[in-house]
Structure 1
Amino acid sequence: MADDCFAHPRLAAIYDPLEPDRGDLDAYVRMAEEFRARQVLDIGCGTGVFALLLAARGIEVVGIDPAPASIVVARGKAGGEHVRWICGEAADLPPLQVDLATMTANVAQAIVDPHGWQETLRGARQALRPGGRLVFETRDPAARAWEEWTRAYSYRVSEIPGTGSVEYWVELLDVSAPLVTFRQVYVFASDGQVLTSDSTLRFRERNEVERDLIAHGFVLDDVREAPDRPGREFVFLARRP
């Protein structure tokens, strides 16, 4: 089940204006070019920002996400008709043969259930053609990113066209390694409505992820740093042999 920040229609509609800087996706665009990908599967596509970046470059993209509200936002964007949108999980994908499968941002960590994680890796491998690659990121637990998930670090007020002023902040709720739970708070000035979205992320160790990939028949080609968060994340590049 998707978190409310993606699944609630009012929150899905403001997700992009609240997160306007998606420079983290530049590295994924470069990798799509590096691997000469012509067909890409974007797992956990959310509101479709990455999928649409690729589609604008002439790449055939399938975007899948479990949150119907986010898929509605993605479909309604300029160029949305050029992407195949699917509401669901990676384990439920139709037959595909893509060159590249991706999980950007927090997608991999948001799959906290061990069975769900294994099913996601299985689904991704099945969707890849032989020689195709799976690329995703996950935060290094040693960096303790959750220490900055507080109101003091995160509070901001955004003016969103058509919506008005929205206050936003994050509250850390629980750290029970490897799981970290936090709450996002949204206050809409137009009518005073307060909405919250609770999320849990799983902070997997590098060797754990490597074992899981190998167990699902992947060859691990590389583990890189995220250019936008050096020293804080692992970016896994795995290949279906």
Structure 2
Amino acid sequence: MTRARTAGYRDGMQPATHQAEFRHARLVEVYDAQNTWGPDDDYFLARAAEGPGGRVLDLGCGTGRLTVALADAGHEVTGIDPAGASLDAARRRPGGEAVTWIHGTSADAPADAFDVALMTSHVAQFFVADDEWAGVLADLRKALVPGGFLVFDTRDPRDRGWEAWHAPDDRDPVTLSDGRVVQTWSEVTGERDGVVDFTLGYEMPEGDELTSTATLRFRAEDVVRRSVEAAGFAVEQVDGGWGREAVGEGAGELLVVARAV
């Protein structure tokens, strides 16, 4: 993560908005330019192909980069996201017409309708409270058929990846599709008991500055396993990296593959 700061608002800087990177149309454009296809997308695309059937739910689909690729690969895909600006961008993406898009949350997923459910881009970490996380897992269990696969990523807290996000004095240029450049930065603003607060900052080409705040929960592997199993899944694999390395030997990830029982 190479973004954000809040050490006071300078002239022209707007007050920080919670998760504005997903909800503000101008920042969604930056997000898309910043987050292009990578090894994580290859991982989830491959995992989806290993499921028991071709009906795939992408929960927290964002701007639809992977969602559309899943449809291109022949899956019957539904993308759900609560951020309207991100979902608007997903619908406009070439190939987006092949996806069923739902503006909503896990509670809006139809029951017994999917063979595979994915949560990518560390969506799982945005569910900070334990009861909220348990509710999402319960919704996904209802959405999957018996034997269906749940696959998601969450960062291993032992890797302490958030320490690399604290760079309020470093600017990272992001080039938009029309050639304009946005300067981005980041700052961690709080850390307690596995919960990390951070702010993303953007110096826009028009001269104004926008900020986006967020909070993520870093759950240890044993905590993740217990929560998934309590929701009615059997954990079949936990990888540590996008090349399916063992936990602790990959990219600081916990990549969970579980089966609905």
TM-score (normalizing by structure 2): 0.87
Shift of 1:114: 2.0
Shift of 1:74: 0.1
Indicate the residue corresponding to 2:12 in structure 1.
none
Indicate the residue corresponding to 1:232 in structure 2.
252
TM-score (normalizing by structure 1): 0.94
200, 203, 211: which one pairs with 1:184? 200
214, 217, 222: which one pairs with 2:232? 217
2:39 aligned with 1:23: yes
What CA RMSD, in Å, does the superposition of the two structures yield over aligned residues? 1.9
Matches within 5 A, 1:136-175: 136-151=152-167, 155-162=171-178, 164-175=180-191
- Cα distance in 2 between the residues matched to 1:203 and 1:138: 7
Indicate the residue corresponding to 1:194 in structure 2.
209
Q: Percent of pairs identical after alignment?
A: 39
Indicate the residue corresponding to 1:14 in structure 2.
30
66, 77, 82: which one pairs with 2:82? 66
Indicate the residue corresponding to 2:128 in structure 1.
112
Contact preservation (8 Å) 1:220, 1:238: yes
Indicate the residue corresponding to 1:80 in structure 2.
96
- Runs of 4+ in structure 1 displaced over 6 angstroms? none
- Cα distance in 2 between the residues matched to 1:111 and 1:98: 22
What is the DSSP-based 3-state SS (H/G/I as helix, E as strand, rest coil) of the residue aligned with 1:155?
A: strand
**More displaced 10-residue stretch of structure 1: 58-67 or 145-154:** 145-154
CA 1:152 to 1:2, structure 2 compared with 1: closer, same or farther past 3 Å?
closer
Shift of 1:32: 1.4
- Cα distance in 2 between the residues matched to 1:108 and 1:93: 16
Contact preservation (8 Å) 1:91, 1:122: no
Gaps of at least 5 residues in structure 1 are: none
Contact preservation (8 Å) 2:55, 2:116: yes
Gaps of at least 5 residues in structure 2 are: 1-16, 244-248
26, 48, 60: which one pairs with 2:64? 48
**More displaced 10-residue stretch of structure 1: 140-149 or 106-115:** 106-115
Deviations 1:134-159 (A, max 9, x none): 01111111100011002279631122
- Which amino acid in the other structure matches residue 232 of structure 1? G
132, 145, 159: which one pairs with 1:129? 145
- Which amino acid in the other structure matches residue 230 of structure 2? A
- Which amino acid in the other structure matches residue 66 of structure 1? P
- Which amino acid in the other structure matches residue 166 of structure 2? T
CA 1:14 to 1:231, structure 2 compared with 1: closer, same or farther past 3 Å?
closer
- Which amino acid in the other structure matches residue 193 of structure 1? D
Shift of 1:113: 2.4
